[in-house]
Amino acid sequence: MNYNQQEITQANAWIEDRFDTAKQELVPGSVKVYQVNINDSGNATRANQVNSNEYALTQLVTGDGFRLQFINDINMAYEIEYETKSIARVYENDTITNTVSMYDGTTKEGSKGIQEVIFAKSAKSENFNSKEIEWQIVLNRDSKRMTNIVITDNYEERNMKLIPGSLQISGLQQDQFELVPVADPSDTSFEKGFTVQMVPNGMINTEHVITYKTSFDPTAGMPINDEYRNTATLNWNEANGEQTPITKSAVVKPQKLYNR
């Protein structure tokens, strides 16, 4: 703010910041104001933090942001820093946009993507010599309360098979999961997939990482679409009931393995 270091009267020494307050809220205590020094070349350097009694912070009448107003006239440059956070759990990726304005009509817009961090899947490692792929699932990175978790992993017609004993679950509440994968009655050798589920009345509110290995058989021919694809679907409940399932996939390309 005021990087050209003009004299601005107290009445005009303000900024207003607007954002979607249905999704985001200002983090209490996160607003910080710093003086900025501008050298002869126009380069800016953050200097001292301004005492909070030198400005007032109020909610906009429209309810969609806040106003920061200095108590006195200003003639220096300032950097204003603050944080917002999601009000509700993020169930799908989104872009958050905010708009800042000044007394002279100047406006600037900024945006940042936010990601759903409930469920993620990836290929952790591949080994052509041993014909193995290690897969990883990261669950509940935002540490919310989750119950009735069922993760269904599917790799049917991909020439893969779960390696016995390879399923590992880490996290503070790993005892809330059954540590033995559940097979479909028609697939007791785990050539199509398997299920990970909670113990009866299980609950977690911390992050967990699930890893396991599948073997693959290159002599069986190329898999569908030339991909060793592994797809997992998460079903679970929260306090307000059953949630919409989330499905994630990870892929290893055979040629990536063959070229090693």
The Cα 236–Cα 214 span in angstroms is 25
Contact 155, 192 (CB under 8 A): yes
Give me the mean pLDDT over the 120-125 stretch.
95
Please tell me the least confidently modeled range out of 4-8, 243-247, 256-260: 256-260
Give one DSSP letter per residue of 3-45, joined into a string.
TT---B-GGG-EEEEEE-TTTEEEPTT--EEEEEEE-TT--EE
Please tell me the least confidently modeled range out of 33-42, 72-81, 110-119, 218-227: 218-227
SS3 141: coil
Give me the mean pLDDT over the 62-79 stretch.
94
The residue ranges of every structural domain in the chain are 10-114, 119-258
Residue 40: C-alpha distances to residues 43, 45, 81 (Å): 7, 12, 25
What pLDDT was estimated at residue 253?
A: 86
- pLDDT surpassing 90 at residue 225: no
pLDDT tier for residue 255 given thresholds of 50, 70 and 90? low
Please provide the average confidence, as pLDDT, over all residues in the chain.
92
The Cα 47–Cα 37 span in angstroms is 6
| Positive or negative torsion for Cα 98, 43, 33, 12 | negative
Q: Residue written as tokens 């220096």?
A: 76
What pLDDT was estimated at residue 256?
A: 53
Please tell me the least confidently modeled range out of 43-52, 84-93, 248-257: 248-257
What pLDDT was estimated at residue 260?
A: 43
- Per the DSSP assignment, residues forming a β-bridge with 110 are 98
75 alpha carbon, distance to own chain's centre:
40
pTM of the shown model:
0.81
Q: For the structural domain made of 119-258, what CATH number should be given?
A: 2.60.40.1290
- pLDDT surpassing 50 at residue 259: no
Q: Select 10-114's CATH number: 1.10.760.10, 2.60.40.740, 3.30.413.10, 2.40.110.10.
A: 2.60.40.740
Percent of the chain's residues with pLDDT above 70: 98
Q: Any alpha helices (H) in the chain, and if so which ranges? A: 254-258
Look at phi and psi of residue 193 and say left if phi exceeds 0, alpha if psi is from -120 to 50, else beta: left
- Greater pLDDT, 58 or 253: 58
Give me the mean pLDDT over the 85-107 stretch.
94
The Cα 206–Cα 5 span in angstroms is 48
Give me the mean pLDDT over the 9-15 stretch.
96
- pLDDT surpassing 60 at residue 149: yes
Here the tokens at position 161 are 């098979």
SS3 133: strand
Q: Do domains 10-114 and 119-258 have the same CATH topology?
A: yes
Give me the mean pLDDT over the 21-33 stretch.
94
The length of the chain is: 260
248 alpha carbon, distance to own chain's centre:
14
The string of pLDDT tens digits covering residues 128-141 is 889 999 999 999 99
| Positive or negative torsion for Cα 143, 145, 150, 154 | negative
- Greater pLDDT, 127 or 118: 118
- pLDDT surpassing 70 at residue 257: no
